[in-house]
Structure 1
Amino acid sequence: MPAGDPPPPIPGARLLFSLDPAVSYLNHGSFGAVPLSVQRVQQRLRDEVEANPLRFYAQGLLDRIIHTRRHLAAFLGADPDGSALVPNTTAGVSIALQSVRLAAGDEVLLTDHAYGAVMLAAKRQCRRAGATARTVTLPLGATEAEVVSRVRDALRPGRTKLLLVDQVTSGTAQVLPVRQIAAAAREHDIPVLVDGAHVPGMLPVEVGEIGADFWVGNLHKWAFAPRGTALLSVAPGWRRRIEPLGVSWEQDAGFPLSVEFQGTVDYTGWLAAPAGLYALRTLGVETVQAHNAALAAYGQRVVGEALGLAPADLLDPGGPGSMRIVPLPIGLATTQAEAQALRLHIAEKLSAETAVNAWGGRGWLRLCAQVYNRPEEYDRLAERLPALLSAFQRQ
């Protein structure tokens, strides 16, 4: 299939979701969308809780959590005994950060593509320890070799105590070569934490083969799980050092149950997550991934052409990703506050949900593609967006 051409729709996929048909939902990457079948499974679990809360929490809950974790870990190629269910990637990152036990003079190295909340978590942990959070710049469009070289050159053996790198960057939608990056860090015995928030369901992955000390990814984005479902995978040498963010009754059990059991939180999303994988597998994992990657490329092309951009201006994500970015006109959405204002304006005026981010002194429109999207949604956005941006810029 030529790059940028729209793929054929997956029959019946659009009917699996309860999204508002009056809105073009082109931002699956932010909060996902839960299939109706998964919503129903979770509601049945909620009904079970309310029918007898004591029985739900006190009889067999741990076994159900362990069973769910094993199911999800197998899908991701992670060791189920070295993984824990967590609410989201940011929570998993915070657990890993505190487990490294930074000291004064240490540093955490991140890239300038790091997710905002993850950067804040790293800075907070460094501030507590008297350590430093430092970033390495990765230019958009850099080759895999260039990315690995820049990261390797930025490492400071003896001082860098953790390298934190995205597998798929959120704001810039780039797929980074984390396996090669982890190998470079291992040359200096520097632990690696991979933020794989967007990976489950979007990309083929074998977590155990990446070679990271910590890996965490959300299943509530591209793997159709209810929101609040993520998996933290930890290498054997770190498991005894993992501490949960809060202490509850399974503290003495150690990782992973000490992390997973947090009293009377809502576990129904985790327990319903295998239904999300079932929905994904029913559609065909490879079929969904290929469809979404092709449709995202089509959306990037038609919107980019409408904005007068050349093909060279439209970056390839570096892998078969379901998200693509389009550079906005110079001077537009150059701060995150301006980007948020523009996103809300697009949603209100064009009935289209997108992501707008400020990165590198420029505004970027991020377009996602999921099985419920259609080429005409991107066509409508392309037709109406240039005039809206011109008017917005004049305000």
Structure 2
Amino acid sequence: MKEQFLLREDITFLNFGSFGASPKPIFEAYQRFQRELEYEPVQFIVNRGPEYLKESRIRLGEYVNCHPDDVVYVPNPTYGVNMVARALDLKPGDEVLSTNIEYGACDRTWDFYCAEKGANYVKQPIRLPLTSKEAFLADFWSGFSPKTKLVFLSQITSATGLILPVKEICEEAKRRGVPVFIDGAHVPGHLPLDLTALDVDFYTGACHKWMLTPKGSSFLFVKRDFQNALDPLVVSWGYQADFPSHSQFQDYHQFNGTRDFSAYLTIPEAIDFMKVNDWWSWAETNRKLVHTWLPRLCTLVGSAPLAPVTDEFIGQMGSIPVRCKDPFELKNLLYEEFRIEIPVMVQNGQSYVRFSINAFNDEQDLVKLEQALKELLSRGLIY
């Protein structure tokens, strides 16, 4: 499987979670679309492109089980969060309920729009390590109030790599009459995703992470009840369209002027690649490797996993809490000296070394990480 990817052979790549990596067949499909664009830009963008996008959305809709008209493509999940946050009709004193373990760019987005509208972004503290699903839900819902107008949280968190019980969150939010927005950046291709069964109001996911497509390829799902309330983030030809389609949602958000949307068109190729290579079997193998090594590496540095090491909470990413003088220096050392590409993240004052495992990784990659951490411990750079 390693030969299927373009990744450098001299680097131990344990950072799939940040930007993913495309296998060669998917990247070649990407370049074919780019060449077609350059051969005849006008015909590609104006005539063939919309049909290509529709075909791609149909395949994506089948993959995540939703109607293709209910998703629009966006460059990244943060863009999708901005679309919803800007359009949401928040009033002074209203609250958006989230957690204190969300992705930093999304935190900044909600901080910005809530401040602009006089609303409050509530980052409900979550006690770590998690002990149970019930304990998490109790922590989370203790932040709810009559002023809560939206629930926003990750299905898989970024810094801590935890899988959160979003199905239960959606069910309880519906009982309380509050819409839910799930940041699923790490989910497509990592966990099975059924948007119809989840019954979520807003959902954004990255295809360029675990789903293997080239960079700048993500989607935003919006339930029909909310679609017409979303103004375009970028006003362009779809607004008051000369030739409106059957969907204002598509018109407003899918065409924002000249850009290379080839990455979106590779989604069918990615779905086919995963099917041919039995990707869910690889995912299970990858999870087992994470589940074996996460406790071992935590013990090495004198910490503990952030949740029970089971499929319920831990997927193909493991975050190791570490104590270090300078997390940025630590990341640079792991890359420059040990040739390991791995993030060192800081959240709520705690540093984490987060490793990701995909089909091209093997146990030797984690042995290299273990040896590097031992060397850094001996130097007092982690302690």
**AA paired with 2:19?**
F
Give the fraction of aligned pairs with identical amino acids, expressed as a percent.
28
**Separation in 2, partners of 1:147, 1:24:** 34
**1:193 pairs with 2:181:** yes
Shift of 1:306: 3.4
Q: Which runs of 5+ in 2 are unaligned?
A: none
**1:180 pairs with 2:168:** yes
CA gap of 1:256–1:148, structure 2 versus 1, over 3 A, is farther
Counterparts in 2 of 1:25-40, with a 5 A limit? Answer: 25-40=13-28
CA gap of 1:308–1:146, structure 2 versus 1, over 3 A, is closer
Query: Match for 2:290 among 289, 296, 301?
Result: 296
User: Paired residues, what number?
Assistant: 375
Shift of 1:247: 1.2
CA gap of 1:346–1:327, structure 2 versus 1, over 3 A, is same
**Separation in 2, partners of 1:313, 1:321:** 13
**1:281 pairs with 2:275:** yes
Counterparts in 2 of 1:6-85, with a 5 A limit? Answer: 13-85=1-73
For 1:103, what is the secondary structure of its paired residue? coil
Partner of residue 264, structure 1: 258
Shift of 1:394: 8.3
CA gap of 1:196–1:314, structure 2 versus 1, over 3 A, is closer
Partner of residue 147, structure 1: 136
For 2:164, what is the secondary structure of its paired residue? coil
Shift of 1:43: 0.7
TM-score where L is the length of structure 1? 0.90
**AA paired with 2:256?**
Q
- Please give the per-residue CA displacement for 1:46-78, whole angstroms capped at 9, x wherever unaligned: 111111111111213212111111111210122
Counterparts in 2 of 1:321-332, with a 5 A limit? Answer: 321-329=315-323, 332=324
**AA paired with 1:287?**
S
For 2:176, what is the secondary structure of its paired residue? coil
**Separation in 2, partners of 1:160, 1:260:** 30
Kept after mapping to 1: 8 A contact 2:95/2:150: yes
Kept after mapping to 1: 8 A contact 2:27/2:213: no
TM-score where L is the length of structure 2? 0.93
**AA paired with 1:148?**
L
For 2:344, what is the secondary structure of its paired residue? strand
**AA paired with 1:366?**
R
**AA paired with 1:343?**
K
**1:221 pairs with 2:209:** yes
Kept after mapping to 1: 8 A contact 2:203/2:220: yes
Counterparts in 2 of 1:74-113, with a 5 A limit? Answer: 74-113=62-101
**Separation in 1, partners of 2:363, 2:382:** 30
Shift of 1:315: 4.8
Q: Moved runs in structure 1, 4+ residues, more than 3 A? A: 312-315, 317-320
Q: Which runs of 5+ in 1 are unaligned?
A: 1-12
**AA paired with 2:142?**
D
Kept after mapping to 2: 8 A contact 1:85/1:230: yes
**Separation in 2, partners of 1:225, 1:347:** 25
**Separation in 1, partners of 2:136, 2:382:** 38
**Separation in 2, partners of 1:33, 1:299:** 22
**Separation in 2, partners of 1:234, 1:309:** 40
**1:136 pairs with 2:124:** yes
Kept after mapping to 2: 8 A contact 1:356/1:365: yes
**AA paired with 1:199?**
V
CA gap of 1:229–1:394, structure 2 versus 1, over 3 A, is closer
When structure 1 is superposed on structure 2, of 313-322 and 185-194 the one drifting more is 313-322
CA RMSD of aligned residues (A): 1.9
Kept after mapping to 2: 8 A contact 1:219/1:225: yes
Kept after mapping to 1: 8 A contact 2:4/2:23: yes
**Separation in 1, partners of 2:224, 2:45:** 29
